[in-house]
Structure 1
C-alpha cells in the first residue's frame, strides 16, 4: 500500500525535539524524505551543547526512512535560504514546509524587557516568515516554468495567539502574527499551487512541560493525551497531497481532538447612518455586547 507522503520532500524546523521531532518521524513513516532542522539551543534560545537534529535523522534512518540534518538559524536570511537549498541539493525538490521552531521567555508585561520581546518574535514570527518566503520563491519559479507544484505549508500557531496567555505577551503576539501571516500566504500563494494552513497544538514539550506536568493518560488504554505524536497525524495530512482544497485554515489539535477555529467574524452590528456622540457610541456598544458571544478566557486569567 502506498504511504500518504511517498515521493514528497518535507522540511521541518525545530525538529530536534518535541512536536518537530514527532512531525519529522511521522512524515518519514509515511514515505517522505525529511530535512530535519534544529539549531540546538536551550528553551530560552541560548546556545546549547549541540544540535539534536542528527539524532532524529539517525532515528529516521534506523526505521528505514530518508533524512538529512540542517543546523542553521532559520530566523536569518542566510539560514532560511540554506534550509531550502538543503532540500533541493539533497533530494532535488521541495513539497512541504512545516514551520515549528520556537522558544519561550515568559514575563509579565511590566517585567518584559525589549530584548525578550524581540527574541521571541524573531524566532517564532520571523522564523516562520523567512523559510516561507524562500520556499514560496522556489515554488513560484516552478509554477512559472510550467512545473506546477502540489506544495504545502503548515505553520505553528498557539491557543495563546488565539486567546492570549497571561505572562506570555511576547509569545501571544508572535503566535497571533503567525495566524495573520498564514491567512495572507494562503491568499497570495494559491495561484502557484501552494496551500497554507496553521495548527494550534496542545502537547507536552519542553515549552509546556510545566503546564502539562502530568501524563494525563487513560489507564485502561495507555493513551498519553499530551504526547506530541498525537498532533502529528493532522500535520502530515495537511502536508500531503491528500489535503487538496484545504487552505487558509487554523486547526486546534490536542490528544484525539481536532477543531476548526473560526477566527474573527462580524458579530452584532449597529449602523446609525450618521456620526454618534461618545455617549451614543457607548450606548450602542453596550447593546451590541449584550447580544454578542462572550470571548474565550485568556489562558492563566
Structure 2
C-alpha cells in the first residue's frame, strides 16, 4: 500500500510552484488532496505548465481524490470554510502543509527601514497569521482523531540573514513560523500530533525565474555560497516533505529542517 493511502492532506498555496510539488508528492503517496489557494489558476499567471487542466486534475490522475478551495487564508472565515469543505468531502484531516506565503509586497521596499506599515501587515498576515489560523482550525479534528501531521514552511531567510538585510519582514515572519511550529509540537504532542517545519533555501521555480534581479534573490554570489553549488529544486523540497508527512519521521516533532544545499551550516 502507498504510505499515505486513506489519508487526507490540505496544502495551502498549492496552485503552483512549491505548493503544487508538495501536493503532487503527497498524492503519489496515496493521500487525497485539498488544493487551497487564493487563486486556483495561479500557475497560468506565471507561465507554469500543468499536465492537466488544474492541479486538482493532476492529483486525480495519480489515482486519488482532490478538491480545490479558493480563498484568502488571512481571513478567519476563509480558513473555516477550507476546513468545513475538507471535512464535507473527505470526513477527516490527517496532514496540513502551510505553504502559502509571499516574500515581497507591492509599493514597499524590502529592507526593515523601507517597509511601509501596510506592507508589514500584509507580509505578517500572509506568512505567519495564515499559518496560525490554519493550524488552529485543523487542531480540533486532529485531536479527535488522536493523530495528525502539521508541516509549516519557514525559510532560509527566517534562519540566516540575506545580504544587506534583504527581505527583512518576510524573514521575521518566517522566523515566527519556525517558533510557532515548536510551540505547536509542545502543545499537541500528547494528542499524537506532530508539528515540524521546512526552511527552504533558494529554489528554482517559475516564479524565481521571473523575479526582478533587483530583488537580490538567486544571484551568482548566493550560488557560490551554497556548499552543494546549486540552487534547490521542487523535488528536493518534496523529498523532505515526504519524510515529515509519513511514518519515517514518527519520532520527529518540533524541528525546523533547513533544505538549502548547505547555504546555512548551523542549527536553526
TM-score in terms of structure 2 length: 0.81
Relative distance call for 1:33 and 1:260 in structure 2 (3 A) is: farther
Larger radius of gyration: 1
1:207 & 1:169 partners in 2: Cα distance? 20
**Are the equivalent residues in 1 in contact too, given 2:92–2:141 (CA < 8 A)?**
no
Once the two structures are TM-superposed, the CA of residue 31 in structure 1 deviates from its matched residue by 0.4
Judging by fraction of residues, say which structure has more helix: 2
1:62 & 1:258 partners in 2: Cα distance? 36
1:110 counterpart = 2:113: yes
1:262 counterpart = 2:262: no
Relative distance call for 1:260 and 1:5 in structure 2 (3 A) is: farther
115, 126, 130: which one aligns with 2:129: 126
Q: Can you give the 5+ residue segments of structure 1 that lack an aligned partner in the other structure?
A: 215-223, 264-301
Task: Give 1:78-93 correspondences, 5 Å limit.
Answer: 78-93=77-92
Task: Give 1:53-92 correspondences, 5 Å limit.
Answer: 55-92=54-91
1:205 counterpart = 2:202: no
Relative distance call for 1:98 and 1:170 in structure 2 (3 A) is: same
2:146 corresponds in structure 1 to: 148
Q: How many residues align?
A: 240
TM-score in terms of structure 1 length: 0.73
Q: Give per-residue Cα distances to partners, 1:81-128, cap 9 Å, x unaligned.
A: 111222211111110000000112252233211111110100000010
1:276 corresponds in structure 2 to: none
Relative distance call for 1:204 and 1:172 in structure 2 (3 A) is: same
Query: Secondary structure of the residue that 2:54 maps to in structure 1?
Result: helix
1:207 & 1:231 partners in 2: Cα distance? 16
151, 157, 160: which one aligns with 1:163: 160
Once the two structures are TM-superposed, the CA of residue 254 in structure 1 deviates from its matched residue by 3.9
135, 158, 162: which one aligns with 2:138: 135
Query: Secondary structure of the residue that 1:163 maps to in structure 2?
Result: coil
Relative distance call for 1:117 and 1:242 in structure 2 (3 A) is: same
**Are the equivalent residues in 2 in contact too, given 1:18–1:204 (CA < 8 A)?**
no
1:76 & 1:173 partners in 2: Cα distance? 21
**Root mean square deviation of aligned Cα:** 2.8
1:189 & 1:54 partners in 2: Cα distance? 38
Q: Can you give the 5+ residue segments of structure 2 that lack an aligned partner in the other structure?
A: 212-216, 221-229
Query: Secondary structure of the residue that 1:97 maps to in structure 2?
Result: strand
2:237 & 2:140 partners in 1: Cα distance? 28
